[in-house]
Amino acid sequence: MSRVRVLDYGMGNLRSVQRALTCVGAEVEVSEEVGGERLLLPGVGAFAEAARRLGPRMEALRAYEGQLLGICLGMQLLFERSHEHGLTEGLGLLPGEVVPLPRQGVTVPNMGWHQLDGLGGPFVYFAHSFGVKDSESATARIDHGGSWVAAVQSGRITGFQFHPEKSGKAGLMLLHRWLNP
């Protein structure tokens, strides 16, 4: 059984992430400390507030050597910086910036289902107003007023802009793949 630590820094939907991981066979520990073989960085809310709350954990996250998965805001935090509510530095584990979704021609926030271009093309659930336009680590994209990064993979680091825990069987399949590469 895979063990996963879900990082509790006050900005995530911990219960639904915990349930989804348990459903795919993981033993889940929710903790305020960085560590374990696999670490999940959830996130719901604004980038600047998340970075502030992570505060002293930022260096531990940068130094973490296990398998790391960022979900939604958690994925955005993996990048160098965000333009949400001013310029805020992220973890810098992946090159790139988080920028606002376009305000013309599409609904913002982007809340709903999109089919991924990549990762087998499943339909997954999104809820975000900011995203990453370009990343050499992109493994999936969506079209929402332009092409946006939906998932990234770089060595031990994985990120999903969408919510696999809210994406039914498709989301569970993607979490299972992360646990069992």
Active site residues: 72, 163, 165
DSSP assignment letter at 76: H
C-alpha distance from residue 85 to each of 49, 64, 91 (Å) = 9, 27, 17
Those residues whose C-beta lies under 8 Å from the C-beta of residue 53, and which sit 6 or more positions away, are: 9, 10, 11
Q: How many residues does the chain have?
A: 181
H helical segments located in the chain: 14-23, 47-54, 57-63, 73-77, 168-179
